[in-house]
A and B are shown apart, each in its own frame.
Chain A
Amino acid sequence: MRTVRVSDDALALACGADEVAAAFERAGCVVERVSGWGMHWLEPLVEIDGTGWGPAGAGDVAAILAGTSPKHIGTIADHPFMARQQRLTFARAGRTRPLSLEDYEATGGWAGLSRARSLPPGQVVAEVIASGLRGRGGAGFPAGIKWKTVADTPGLRKYVVCNADEGDSGTFADRMVMEGDPFALIEGMAIAAHAVGAGQGYIYVRSEYPHAIAKLNAAISLAAAIVTPFRLEVRVGAGAYVCGEETALLNSLEGKRGEVRAKPPLPAVAGLFGLPTAVNNVLTLTALPHILSPGGADEYARLGIDRSRGTAAIQLAGNIRRGGLFEAAFGMTLRELIHDIGGGTASGRPVKAAQVGGPLGAYIHPDQFDLPFDYEAFAAADALVGHGGVVVFDDTADMGAQARFAMEFCAVESCGKCTPCRIGSTRGVELIDRIRTGARMPDPVGALPQMHNAPKAARSREDDVGLLEDLCETMRFGSLCALGGFTPYPVLSALKHWPEDFL
């Protein structure tokens, strides 16, 4: 009997993988449900003895089994999209059954944890610092330094919290880890707990990821005996984007409104319930089993460029021909990623823009596509690497409308704690509307006789643009967190590169 492997990742399911799997079972095959390879344009991807077919439908089953299907893509691991990657965090993607402890152990699972536990915590922290691992959530803060702070701060108890509130549009790497390799995340959290001296961990997952929640809960009960005495629990978010901000996330875990806290104190000093807490992104924690394996830290530090070490999980999304997960050392250019690897737009039209780093990331013009994927290079170009999502737009995109959406999104999702974000975003939507419609209404309040200093004539377009830039500066420097603070990136980048879309 032939063994057929089909992914049970949410994206494969959304594209009909269950129907394909059922059709193979009816044809008398044994179907193994594995994680996704990350080649999303080929899902549902069918694998038989290393060879792939995709995107497969239930109607392709007979032809695939007969070897006559035109959807044949050859050996999956040799596919050009795979061959150019360097998979460390996603080494198991497509190769193992997500909830099989047997598969996990057979592919080197728990080796990092057992080595970490044989070392004093201080040395684990030192190895992570030496690896150069930086927080993958977006801010890029050195993970080891954060842990050193947690470890050095006295506290009754300490916590490790995994930020799995992956709300950024264009990102799905966290979801792929949680659904495809949940034990790797658990192992990473257990390593972090050993390093900082924590006994309890929480994984805060957004409610939009029901499959990830189910897989994590199952994986935690299967692995409980292995990671003990460390205890882990999944907590489910409730639809608030801002809870991806670490202090809002901690408030939400405590059972409060997901409002941002002022920093300092840093969560590393006073985090969950006021106790020292290491808050890390899924990808940061999942990088640990490799880094703590023998020689792992050195290998990690050798990859990448400048201060961006190791590999980046780049997510190619939006209007792109070959979308999916691409893990490679830092330093690849956007041009290579979007054109060579992604194959340009799915619609076949010219690329107009790429938004990197989620809804708070800048819109990047094709003229800037030689930017290397590197935290500092992006920052120097007024852009963000963020969580590594790349959303491609074709030439039908209206960048003025995208800028307006950025402000609108901020207004919808603002937690309301600080004024620049809460009020500024609403005023931003109004300003962009005024700039785009050309409405030149004199301000009725300004026309009142007692408003001596108010201008009596309507503002010109240039005045409105100046006001928008001024508002963006206030939001950027006056907001408590990245939601209000980074919303100006997409707005100002759209205004700078595509002023014609604001007419």
Chain B
Amino acid sequence: MSDAARLAEIVARHAAREGPLLPILHDVQHAFGCIDARAEAAIALALNLSRAEVHGVVSFYPDFRALPDPRPEVQLCRAEACQARGVEGLVAAAEAAAGERVRLSKVYCLGLCSAGPSARVGDRVYARLDEAALVALIEAT
């Protein structure tokens, strides 16, 4: 199936819902790894919006990306509860382990606040990380 056909199929799946834009953008991001200018234009046309409106939404939310990033991602919680449990002391080692190969991103709270420092890779979450465990997690990603 061509990209355009896959996109049209995603839009059609959600078009009948109330406020369909965010569900569409989630699926497009998931299917293509980004929401580029062509996707924005096609979605705008299908939903009778301007491309500026769609771009405004895409650029507002951290989960949506304009350009693909094929690197695996490790999200490290950097919010207060994990700070209180020493996450900031792990950042240098985590960055060194991630290098250019892994995208180490900040996230504000994974809801594991009594057992931090915590991290997320895809749909898996990890808690009670120390430096060795975090580095091993990043290297295994």
Contacts and interface: CB of A to CB of B under 8 A. Distances in A.
Interface of A: 10-11, 13-15, 40-41, 43, 166-172, 175, 200, 207-211, 233, 235-241, 252-259, 273, 315-320, 323-324, 346, 355, 359, 389, 391-394, 397, 402, 405, 409, 412-413, 415
Contact of B64 (A168, A235, A238, A315): A238
B132 to A, nearest CB: 15
Contacts of A41: 114-115
Interface in B8-41: 17-23, 25-26
B80 interface: yes
Interface in B62-101: 62-64, 75, 79-85
Contacts of A11: 111-112, 114-115, 127
Most chain B Cβ neighbours within 10 Å, of A14, A168, A210, A413: A14
B120 to A, nearest CB: 7
B115 to A, nearest CB: 5
B63 A10 contact: no
B127 A15 contact: yes
Contact of B111 (A166, A239, A397): A166
A13 to B, nearest CB: 6
Contacts of A256: 21, 53, 57
A315 B113 contact: yes
A319 B108 contact: no
A81 to B, nearest CB: 12
Contacts of B135: none
- Which range contains the number of B residues in contact with the other chain? 35 or more
B42 interface: no
Nearest to B120: A208
Nearest to A322: B114
Contacts of A255: 19-22, 47, 57
B57 A10 contact: no
Given A167-B109, A210-B123, A391 B81 contact: yes
A235 B23 contact: yes
A240 B17 CA distance: 22
Nearest to A358: B80
B111 A258 contact: no
Contact of A235 (B22, B75, B111): B22
B45 interface: no
Nearest to B79: A169
B61 A169 contact: no
Interface of B: 17-23, 25-26, 47, 53, 56-57, 60-64, 75, 79-85, 107-116, 118, 120, 123-128
A318 B85 contact: yes
Contacts of B120: 208
A241 B57 CA distance: 15
A344 B115 CA distance: 15
Describe A's contact surface by its main secondary structure: mixed
A374 B115 CA distance: 26
Most chain A Cβ neighbours within 10 Å, of B17, B22, B26: B22
A239 B62 contact: yes
Nearest to B114: A323
A318 B108 contact: no
B80 A402 contact: yes
Given A11-B112, A316-B114, A273 B80 contact: no
B109 A239 contact: no
A208 B109 contact: yes
B19 A254 contact: yes
Nearest to A39: B114
B92 to A, nearest CB: 16
Contacts of A273: 18-19
Q: Which 10 A-B pairs have the closest CB atoms?
A: A323-B114, A255-B21, A169-B79, A238-B61, A317-B113, A318-B84, A239-B62, A14-B127, A238-B63, A40-B114
A254 B18 CA distance: 7
Contacts of B23: 235-236
B84 A172 contact: no
A54 B118 CA distance: 20
Nearest to B126: A14
B113 A238 contact: no
B123 to A, nearest CB: 4
Nearest to A236: B26
A11 B118 CA distance: 10
A237 B19 CA distance: 13
Contacts of B112: 10-11, 14, 172
Nearest to A256: B57
B55 to A, nearest CB: 10
25 contacts: A11-B127, A14-B125, A40-B115, A167-B109, A169-B81, A170-B81, A170-B113, A171-B109, A171-B113, A208-B110, A209-B111, A238-B25, A254-B19, A255-B19, A255-B21, A255-B57, A256-B21, A256-B57, A257-B56, A258-B61, A317-B113, A317-B114, A319-B85, A323-B113, A409-B79
